[in-house]
A and B are shown apart, each in its own frame.
Chain A
Amino acid sequence: MDELDPVIHAQARLRIMAALSTLEADGSISFPRLQELLDMTAGNLSTHLRKLEDASYVDITKAHKGRTPITYLGLSKKGRRAFEDYMDNLRTVLGEQP
């Protein structure tokens, strides 16, 4: 059995990955909306997103709405695969078939 991915295996980052996994492939969500949906503080969300970004699990793109800059976040292909692998490993640990 593979080890549970330590990048994802933390409560806040699992919640972020789970939330982003509900977006369609190549879909993304703005930072404030994700923060609202997760009910996390901006600082906490930024901290954990940085760790996911360092692992290349999250794609971050900058856009502008008028003059206001907006940060969009979505799972990268690597991140989506890592989340699926994590779920398979978690189910294996729990004795379910992946």
Chain B
Amino acid sequence: MSNSEQRPSDAAAHAERTPNVDDDAPLDPAAMYALMQNQQRSIETQMGAFVPYITLAWGLTWLVGFGALWLIDGLQPAFSLPLAVAVPVFIATILISGGFSAWLGIRSGRGMRGNTASAFTGTVYGITWSIGAFALGFLGSGLQSQGMTAELANFYYPSAYVLFAGIMYIIAAAIWHAIPSLIGGCWLVAIAVAAPFFGYPGHYLFLALAGGLAFIALSIYGAVEQRRMRAVTNGGHRG
């Protein structure tokens, strides 16, 4: 079999740099079993290497974005972040994290082709984010047109979107068997429901800290776990 993307000269040069390992020979059965398990873990670790970065980006987004909204009135009268600054900061952090997540997701899936069923699942899941985001916005507008006050809208929008994000994380966990996504999703649902009880503007600070710090902690845990897995699997053979 030939690799059409690899020039023969590159392959030869690479082969010369690599120690000559007799990887055509089997090891004893126990070592072969361990080799197989290490290889599968190594692939899974490498394929999931981007997840802690995405989690960290969203942790910072929540901390900074909701933190900015809290600063509008949270430190009054000593300090007030103008609404015209806080809202763009909130939107910008979400857009940056969304773009960063999409870029990392695409990068991680490079060179991979799924079957038709998984492509359908991924597409429907991606579109559902957009459908939900627009639907919740329109629903909020509808409620405001029927008398929901701006004060109540301050609670509706953040809680509705955080609740929706949490449910989407849980769905992602169900589809792709991702435990960290399940934990993050359940946490988001819990804080979305709890936030209004903190009142205005405390609910923004609650979402900034409970959402932001939790995601940053989840990201650190994920990175440590990946480092541990790499240490285990680096015993694998190369060649």
Contacts and interface: CB of A to CB of B under 8 A. Distances in A.
Given A14-B32, A39-B238, A71 B4 contact: yes
B33 interface: yes
A40 B1 contact: no
Contacts, number: 142
B5 A68 contact: yes
A43 interface: yes
B5 A11 contact: no
Given A11-B27, A19-B40, A42-B11, A71 B111 contact: no
A87 B43 CA distance: 18
Interface residues of B, number: 43
Interface in B100-120: 110-115, 118
Nearest to A33: B111
Interface in B1-59: 1-6, 10-12, 14-15, 18, 21, 23-27, 29-30, 32-33, 35-37, 39-40, 42-44, 46-47
Given A19-B40, A42-B14, 17 more contacts: A10-B25, A15-B236, A18-B39, A21-B40, A27-B112, A27-B118, A31-B6, A33-B110, A37-B42, A37-B47, A41-B14, A41-B18, A42-B3, A43-B11, A43-B14, A50-B1, A70-B111
Interface of A: 4, 9-12, 14-15, 18-19, 21-35, 37-46, 48-50, 53, 60, 62, 68-72, 74, 87, 90-91, 93-94
